[in-house]
Amino acid sequence: MSQQSRILAGVFCSGMAAALIAMAALQLPNWLQQRKMVSESPPVVQTAEPEQTPKPQVTAAPTVQPAVTPEPRDFTALLERNPEVIGWIKIDDTDVDLPVMQREGDNSYYLKHDLDGNWDDLGLPYLDYECDIQRSRHLILYGHNMGVGDTVRFSSLQNYRKPEYYQEHPVIELDT
C-alpha cells in the first residue's frame, strides 16, 4: 500500500471515529434521561387475575303501540293555496306539526318563507329538491333548529339525544 493510500485510509478512519464519538455524545443525554426514568418508575406489581365482566344484558326495544292509521289528510285546500306542498310532518307532544314543502331546483327558498311565500325567519320544513317523494328510498328534510331549549320548528329534535325521549316519542309521522 502506498504512502498516499495509508494517509487516506487514516483520514477516513479518523473521520468515522469522530462521527461515532459525536453521535454517542449527542445520544448520551437522552440515554441518561431514559435510564433515570426507568430507575425511578414504580415497581411492577403482580395483580390477581381480573374477574370476568358480566355480559351486557340486551334490553328490549321500546314498545310501540300498534300504529293507528290516521285519517288521510286532505291536501286539497293546501295545494290550492300553494302547489309546492308535498306533505305534512307531525311529532306528538312537540311543535313539529307543519306542512312540508318542495321547490323545484331550490333548497333554500323555504328556509325563510312561509306557506304563502311571505318572508318568515322561521321558514317551513322542506324536502330536498332532488328527492322524489314517490320514488326515493331516502328523503332529506330540512328545517330550522332555533337553539337549545327552544321548541320552535325542529328544535325539539334535540331531545332525541336522550334514549328515554326516543322511547316516549318513537313515531315521526310524514303524511304525503
Q: Return the DSSP state at 83.
A: T
| CB contact at 8 A, 38 and 30 | no
DSSP secondary structure letters along 96-147: -EEEEE-BTTBSSGGGSB-TTS-B-TT---EE-TT--TTT-SS--EE--B--
Given this model, what pLDDT does residue 130 score? 93
Quick one: how far is CA 111 from the chain centroid? 23
Given this model, what pLDDT does residue 105 score? 92
For residue range 85-103, list pLDDT tens digits in order.
999 999 888 888 899 999 9
Given this model, what pLDDT does residue 126 score? 93
All three cell numbers of 172: 315521526
| CB contact at 8 A, 151 and 94 | yes
149 compared with 84, residue with greater pLDDT: 84
* Beta strands 126-127; 173-175: pairing state: unpaired
Percent of the chain clearing pLDDT 70 (strictly above): 75
For residue range 23-63, list pLDDT tens digits in order.
878 887 777 777 776 666 555 555 556 566 666 666 555 55
**Whether pTM exceeds 0.75:** no
Single out the residue of 154, 147, 103, 144 nearest to residue 127, CA to CA.
Answer: 103
Binning pLDDT at 50, 70 and 90, where does residue 144 land?
confident
Q: Is the pLDDT of residue 141 over 80?
A: yes
Rounded Cα–Cα distance for residues 2 and 8 (Å): 10
Residue 121: phi and psi, rounded to 5, are -60, -30
Taking residues 145-169, report their average pLDDT.
Answer: 78
